[in-house]
Chain A
Amino acid sequence: MPNIISMIIKRLGLGVLTLLLLSLLIFLSVEALPGDLAETILGQQATPETVAAIRKELGLDQPPLTRYLNWLGGVVQGDFGNSLALKKPISGLIAPRIQNTLFLTLYTAAIAVPLSIILGLAVSLFRNSYFDRITNTTALAAISMPEFFVGYVMIYFFALSGYFPSMANINANTPLLDKLYLCFLPALTLTLVVTAHMMRMTRAAIINVLALPYIEMARLKGAKPSRIIVRHALPNAIAPIVNVVALNLAYLITGVVIVEIVFVFPGLGQLMVDGVKFRDVPVVQATALIFASAYVGLNLLADIISTLSNPRLMRQR
């Protein structure tokens, strides 16, 4: 056990370091954008005096390093600054968005992860059968179509006929059941997008393990194919599967912008897109940092689960 705790502490430290570097990178890239914020805000009314006033107000007259450190100091305390466009604290804007995005992510994950792992196990059990081929082709077809297209296909089939709503316009007060109902189509769309990747990885990882001598041993003990896959192959294939699941969950948090727009879903992605559109630099920085944290955090979680699943790492001689 001390092994795993020291590993987690080490990885957490590395994660924090990664985030620090990322924050710098985000800050610098935003800094490198052409144009001047103050002028953008003022638009037609930009006179040298007003611009200077605004710059002073926003702290833009300070050197970049000072601004970066100020920003970072705020972020550490949960203060992302104020939105330029809406003139409101960003933390207040982000909080409900994060909730919504997390809800959609968890909702999708609750469908997609079990589905893809079970399908992955099933196709490796019946590998090279028609079931395997058809499932694989379908999953590949789903992943090859652009997300917005899948979204509109869903709307065409399920929303136009009135089964499910095409707008997932939820807010903090929507009851859970209604939320599940409202978000069904976006969740289904995202499921179709991420399942193929996870399922194919599960299949590949399992089939990789199936060639090993201890699998032959299990067969020679008289174990059924299903038992071999679930009990003998799966525990040894967890590491690659968990990693691909983590990547896909991170994708669900960060990469769902298009799906959010199709279904008018008030999530983080949309907030970021709006931020970019209105040159709302603090919002862009804040969302980018949250996305980065999601990636780092999920990958850390994947590493921990892989380690826990491997007795050779847990109990070193």
Chain B
Amino acid sequence: MAARKSASSSSDLLLSMKNIHIKGKSDDKWIDIINGVDLDLNRGEVLGLIGESGAGKSTLGLAAMGFCRDGCKITDGSIQFDGMDMLSLSKNELRQLRGHRISYVAQSAAASFNPAHKLIDQFCEAPLIHNVMSRSQATEYAIDLYHRINLPDPDHFGFRYPHEVSGGQLQRAMTAMALSCRPDLIIFDEPTTALDVTTQIEVLAAIKDIVKEFNTAAIYISHDLAVVAQMADRIKVLLKGDEVEQAPTDVMLQSPSQDYTKSLWAVREYNRKEQKIPPQTEMPIISIKNVTAGYASKLDVLKEVSFDIYKKRTVAVVGESGSGKSTTARVVTGLLKPRMGSVSFEGETLPAGYQSRSRDQLRRIQMIYQMADTALNPKLRIRDLIARPANMYLGLSGKALEERVRELLHMIEMEPDQFIDRLPSELSGGQKQRIGIARAIAAEPSIIICDEVTSALDQLVAEGILKLLDRLQSELDLSYMFITHDLATVRAIADEVVVMKDGVVVEQGIKSKMFTPPHHPYTELLLGSVPEMDPKWLDRLLDERGKDNLGDAAIAKMQNQGLA
């Protein structure tokens, strides 16, 4: 296999991209996506590409394979891969490189595996296309790799369909698949972004192991600096298609030279002061008591959930996907009737279904959603989006309503004259989320349920939203039920934390206590799984926990011991 590495391998430089310009078509106009970025990569080296959405990370990563998505084109620059000029290769020659010498790991393995074929057949595809191995050799190699990256039942794992295995396992299977032809270069495009923190670790461990073992060069694309810090030897920061700076990982973490990079780092330090604990006598705004709930005929999604939310306080409900956070929100809002238990508002039990709640009860509990895109009616102007609740709940109309809308826009730091007549499609993601907030406060609620409101946003934008929510809380005496899976967000904004797992509250208390040991084992696992900025963090963790004690395996072990 060594023979196929071409004669020019005497040089250490594997990939050299010079002055890359890429344009993309949007509404019949060509706009710049990448404006003149250089990128060099040596054999066996891992380069981290960092940037917010729209920075052009994925586009640049794909360009390293000589690939452009439909509607994009490389307009200028040169790409040398192992001595070959990628831009002058024919389609056929490029195909021979792809999957063979350069391979790709996509963000969502669930979407990037073909649902119609078994995993092992998809693994074998590239080796067979490129005539690298026979089917039986490739199958054997796959099983070998599945063993290596600790997939469950590795001998039979590949003979399942993608829908039959979990997200973290799929992502590891995709990493194995990228390795099927022993490529010189692998592009990892946000491979752990869609995963829970505990699952993320097992994937990171697998990637790290494989890259080291086979001395594969890699470009690791992510928006999460702490993750990149674990994987990369060198980090390059991109902003709107321009390179901001690049430096070895240690240097980049300790002393970034550019303001933009510093601002990226600073986000993680935002931390709101924890508020004083309310007196025992105070009546909670919302009190959830022994709620058990579920959908249709299925099992209970929530089991005996109880917690209180007091005035002017933020309760963060934390947990991984499927833990019942959003279901709890649905019970509070009355969208889902609980099987047992109840929700009371200022001491008064609320009717189970929203249909039987009074208009005033509805008004005082509002929601902000994760996807501002789908939560705002695309056909309505900002004016109408915000005016609706003010009119419906508070009976404002005419001039008073207009003034109220303007006032609300001021409160969310958006200039009324500029924005009031726009459509949601004419706003950025962060601005849309602000409109979502304005719509919620227009009803003058007592409590707002924020369901993963910052998850879909870039860090800097998310921080702006968190600060805005914080300010509104003190100005309007609001309470928040803040649903999130992101512990950094919890640290930033919460007064109290409720940790949920499989529909059960495993631990709850004030933030300062929750973030200091001793923890409940699950909280411990969650907290310990959040990547830290220290590049040695992952190695240390792997040493401490051991390879067989990550993600699903760790949770299973914990459950066996009866701790969760």
A2 at the interface (CB under 8 A from B): no
User: Which B residues are in CB contact (< 8 Å) with A235?
Assistant: 114, 116-117
B164 at the interface (CB under 8 A from A): yes
Q: Which stretch (B98-106, B251-259, B491-499) binds chain A?
A: B98-106
| Contact A214–B114 (Cβ < 8 Å) | yes
| Contact A223–B129 (Cβ < 8 Å) | yes
Given contacts A219-B98, A221-B98, A223-B125, contact A236 B104 (CB under 8 A): no
Additional A-B contact list (17), CB under 8 Å, known A222-B99, A235-B114, A310-B115: A216-B69, A217-B114, A218-B125, A219-B98, A220-B62, A220-B65, A220-B67, A221-B103, A222-B97, A222-B129, A223-B125, A223-B129, A235-B116, A235-B117, A312-B115, A312-B163, A317-B164
B388 at the interface (CB under 8 A from A): no
Taking the closest CB of chain B, its distance from the CB of A216, in whole angstroms, is 7
For chain A residues 201-232, which have a beta carbon within 8 Å of chain B? 212-214, 216-224, 227, 232
A311 at the interface (CB under 8 A from B): yes
- Against A, the Cβ 8 Å flags (1 = close, 0 = not) of B80-120 are 00000000000000011111100110101001111111000
B18 at the interface (CB under 8 A from A): no
Our pick among A213, A222, A224 for the contact of B111 (Cβ within 8 Å) is A213
A315 at the interface (CB under 8 A from B): yes
A99 at the interface (CB under 8 A from B): no
Q: Give A82 to B82 CA distance when docked, in angstroms.
A: 84
Q: Give A276 to B163 CA distance when docked, in angstroms.
A: 53
Given contacts A311-B161, A317-B164, contact A222 B95 (CB under 8 A): yes
Taking the closest CB of chain A, its distance from the CB of B518, in whole angstroms, is 36
| Contact B163–A317 (Cβ < 8 Å) | yes
User: Which B residues are in CB contact (< 8 Å) with A227?
Assistant: 129
Closest 7 CB pairs of A and B: A221-B99, A235-B116, A222-B99, A222-B98, A213-B111, A220-B104, A311-B161
User: Which A residues are in CB contact (< 8 Å) with B161?
Assistant: 311-312, 315
Q: Give A220 to B125 CA distance when docked, in angstroms.
A: 12
User: Which A residues are in CB contact (< 8 Å) with B106?
Assistant: 213, 216-217
B311 at the interface (CB under 8 A from A): no
18 pairs of residues in contact across A and B, judged by CB atoms under 8 Å? A214-B111, A216-B112, A217-B112, A217-B113, A220-B67, A220-B99, A221-B99, A222-B129, A222-B130, A223-B125, A232-B114, A235-B114, A236-B115, A312-B161, A312-B163, A315-B163, A315-B164, A317-B164
A309 at the interface (CB under 8 A from B): yes
B15 at the interface (CB under 8 A from A): no
User: Which A residues are in CB contact (< 8 Å) with B113?
Assistant: 214, 217
Q: Give A222 to B93 CA distance when docked, in angstroms.
A: 10
B412 at the interface (CB under 8 A from A): no
Most chain A CB neighbours (cut-off 10 Å) among B62, B116, B126, B129: B116
| Contact B126–A221 (Cβ < 8 Å) | yes
- Against A, the Cβ 8 Å flags (1 = close, 0 = not) of B40-79 are 0000000000000000000000100101010000000000
User: Which B residues are in CB contact (< 8 Å) with A217?
Assistant: 104, 106, 112-114
User: Which B residues are in CB contact (< 8 Å) with A216?
Assistant: 69, 106, 112
- Against B, the Cβ 8 Å flags (1 = close, 0 = not) of A179-205 are 000000000000000000000000000
| Contact A236–B116 (Cβ < 8 Å) | yes
Which of chain B's residues has its CB closest to A211's CB?
B70
Given contacts A213-B108, A312-B161, A315-B161, contact A219 B67 (CB under 8 A): yes
User: Which B residues are in CB contact (< 8 Å) with A309?
Assistant: 116
User: Which A residues are in CB contact (< 8 Å) with B69?
Assistant: 216
User: Which A residues are in CB contact (< 8 Å) with B65?
Assistant: 220
Q: Give A216 to B105 CA distance when docked, in angstroms.
A: 11
| Contact A221–B112 (Cβ < 8 Å) | no
Given contacts A220-B65, A315-B161, contact A236 B114 (CB under 8 A): yes
Our pick among A221, A236, A310 for the contact of B125 (Cβ within 8 Å) is A221
For chain B residues 126-171, which have a beta carbon within 8 Å of chain A? 126, 129-130, 161, 163-164
Q: Give A222 to B92 CA distance when docked, in angstroms.
A: 9
Q: Give A214 to B115 CA distance when docked, in angstroms.
A: 9
Q: Give A117 to B546 CA distance when docked, in angstroms.
A: 53
User: Which A residues are in CB contact (< 8 Å) with B67?
Assistant: 219-220
Which of chain B's residues has its CB closest to A210's CB?
B70
User: Which B residues are in CB contact (< 8 Å) with A236?
Assistant: 114-116
| Contact B111–A212 (Cβ < 8 Å) | yes
Taking the closest CB of chain B, its distance from the CB of A127, in whole angstroms, is 11
Taking the closest CB of chain A, its distance from the CB of B165, in whole angstroms, is 9
